[in-house]
Amino acid sequence: MATPSPLLRLGTRGSPLALAQANLVVAALRAAHGWDEDAIAIVPIRTSGDRIQDRPLAEVGGKALWTRELDRALLAGEIDCAVHSMKDVETERPPAIAIAAFLPRADVRDRLIGAATLAALPAGARVGTSSPRRSAQILRERPDAQIVLFRGNVATRLAKLARGEADATLLAAAGLDRLSEHDVGQPIPLETMLPAPAQGAVGIELRADDDRRLGWFAAIDDVPTRTAVITERALLAGLGADCRSPVAALAEPRADGIRLRAEILSGGGEECYAADQVIARPEDAAEVAAELLGRASPAVRALFHP
């Protein structure tokens, strides 16, 4: 007897963290709709970002390295939806693709592995990261630090640290928690390091004309997370930020509007322009972006392309 086809083919990167996030989506859909275990098939897809790990993203295609293979499979009908860490998704998306749902956002903070605090790092410490935002924030706090390129999944980066390729590194608390690595690293206060836009948020994309499945995902969409992430992505769009741009942001919906904290930095952390405002709508983040760029030096504005 033939095995019945699944209701949903869910595409994802194949890293342990990506698979953990995909399984969170599966669990949410099964709980919402009462589906059995065979209703959803997880389809791992290897992306260019997984294959190329020895160079910064800016040198090899930017954030599209994480999405283009999933986009192709989605638009070709090989999968029905794609699960993403939203901080890895480029701001401009194809019009044929819609963000159907967001899971509730997890801890937005970074964790420092290798020392209790940034202040406790030894003089001249080597800190492994590939993030322009983290690099700039680290150097703002510790100008004596040396930034070492670290790419790869969580296990790869922790292994590099264990081999002594750096004295410390930073990883997203959300990813560590989703991998049950709750005791790894020390959380860095938001007052010290604002997160990357959309950090800690998992989003699911579908074909924009797939009304039936869009309805399925509406049942698991977390509205506060959607509001926060759309606001932070509107800030990125207003800034014209790309993978070379040191930018941090955190939007928090509340009764009187959306509190948006944001900062843009020079690559070495010497300059930082910050905003902390309550705005009415996500699209108002574009005004915050314009205000930040208006205050920034020519050197910092050159890192953005509004």
Rounded to whole angstroms, the Cα distance separating 68 from 81 reads 13
- Of 222, 285, 278, 221, the residue nearest 252 (C-alpha): 278
In a domain, 72, yes or no: yes
Q: Coil, strand, or helix at residue 201?
A: coil
In a domain, 45, yes or no: yes
pTM score: 0.92
Q: How many domains does the chain have?
A: 3
Give me the catalytic one of 36, 38, 54, 88.
Answer: 88
In a domain, 49, yes or no: yes
pLDDT of residue 137: 98
pLDDT of residue 63: 52
End residue of a domain, out of 187, 209, 241 = 187
- Please check whether residues 211 and 91 belong to one and the same domain: yes
- Please check whether residues 98 and 247 belong to one and the same domain: no
The boundaries of the domain holding residue 277 are 233-301
Contact 253, 227 (CB under 8 A): yes
Q: Residue 61: pLDDT band by 50, 70, 90 thresholds?
A: very low
* Close Cβ partners of 224 (under 8 Å, ≥ 6 residues apart): 104, 105, 253
Q: With pLDDT > 70 as the criterion, what percentage of the chain qualifies? A: 92
The chain-wide mean pLDDT, for the chain, equals: 93
In a domain, 50, yes or no: yes
- Annotated active-site residue 88? The verdict is yes
Average pLDDT for residues 105-122, to the nearest whole number? Answer: 97
In a domain, 306, yes or no: no
In a domain, 84, yes or no: yes
In a domain, 227, yes or no: no
- Please check whether residues 99 and 16 belong to one and the same domain: yes
- Please check whether residues 91 and 212 belong to one and the same domain: yes
Among the ranges given (45-49, 118-122, 217-221, 295-299), the one the predictor scored with the smallest mean pLDDT: 45-49
